[in-house]
Structure 1
Amino acid sequence: MKLLAKDITVSLTNKQIIHDICLEVKAGEFVGLIGPNGSGKSTLLKCIYRVLKPTAGWIGLDGDDIYQLSNRVSARRMAVVRQESSVEFDFSVQEIVMMGRSPHKKMFQVDTTEDMTISEDALGRVGMSEYGKRSFFSLSGGEKQRVLIARALAQQAEFLVLDEPTNHLDVRYQLQVMDLVRQLGITVLSALHDLNIAAMYCDRLYVLKDGQLVTSGSPDDILTADLIREVFGVETDVSLHPITGKKHVYFFSEAYKGELKRQEVSEAR
């Protein structure tokens, strides 16, 4: 499953939110969207999973215009995990995950043993097997996020869209969820706020600022101190981690800017 977005522009109340963004996610790739708050990451994702229709541009999934697909066909191809929970009624955890099987069923078709097996496996993969009978509303923010990821897994789509999937998760479950998603072997597009998570797991990154595409490429190529300063407005030291071999970003507060400048002058001499 591959995604191609061409010249995506979104205007709301006569204000352009994103401007002429082009993006490609090849089959099997894990692609990340990074950028500061308000850069347009979530708006672009909402266009891709059809909550928001762009003012201009075209989005294709395996060559098909996503807005020409039926809801059922779209859901079989694409699963989504959003930042916020859209659950309005108090379902059990098991019922939430079973909702991921809906695109594969006819109207009024009862749940099968296969549906149950797939849902239980999805809960196990996110470490929530023992929570099946719990009320979804009784869970913590991090637990809810893991259940929603399990629902996406139960959907068995070949393209997964994630909007800040590690929000509300502690470090252990951040890494567990990202390991899990990485190992699925499907096409993934994810908005991420943690640059080190992005560097560790993504094949390529798209960098957004003020609704425009700044650059794109592999984390090793584009994650530099200069780019992070330009886009995020913070000082950093970027180096290869000795264990992972991936780029790692160390951030400095305003208090350390003077020391950083002195080091740069010293090294220049």
Structure 2
Amino acid sequence: MKVLLARLDVFAGRYDEALRKLAGIVPHDLHFTWQYGEVLRLLGQSHYRLGDLAEAERIFTGLHESAWRFHRRVARTYSVAIPKRRDADPDEVKRCVAAIKKDVEEQEAASAQDREGRTFLVLPVSVDPKSSQFGLESGLTDVLALFLADVLHRDTPMTLVQDRVIHEVLIDPGLADLLSTEGGQHVLASVLGARYVIECRFEKVGLVEGVAARIMDAQSHEKHLARPVDVERHTDVGAAVHRLAEALWTVVQETAESASDEPVNDGAGG
């Protein structure tokens, strides 16, 4: 019963309460081996979402030994994400957040030239438990923005702005209000010199969950939707991220081709 209640707490974002319920549970308290794997998953995700990366890493290391394939996949996902997040220098993150706030207050935008290329950023994923059960349980909601930015930066001609620290910067609570509105996202893109702003959301149609991505061109203010990617219990997180990256890169290429095909108005009379 404690595990079930803790699971509901995690879905609702009550991570401290989940940790309290799960404290002290050991394998022989449970009827089945897989249940302890579920305890470790919930503990690890709660610590991760509370920002305790060291404890989360310790727990997910233990989850690698789970007999259940799903738990091993979850452990592998976080084992990749945690070192990526730790690589961000906390002092550099603080300086970047402070600089963004200062530039926003002073309305100091990047030059148009800085935004002519394929620079981009990926916003943190907003979570609705009703439409993202797989996303929450698998960890995809936690790692999607981080992994997607990495794949686009590495495998396409797109360039992630502030690539060493941008994920930690964007999840900083001090920027939450700025990211909550489309106008704020435009301002952020302008300040950081990002041409494209990518926003992902989880959606559910019937029993099928999927990830949809919208890409906004901060120069033209046009918005385009990428082809959704279905996810389910046995989906590999890395494979899902790569499919979404391919869909987004296709959108960027198609919109660039469409723009180049538009007739140029030279002002001549007809």
Higher strand share: 1
TM (norm. structure 2) is: 0.27
Higher helix share: 2
TM (norm. structure 1) is: 0.27
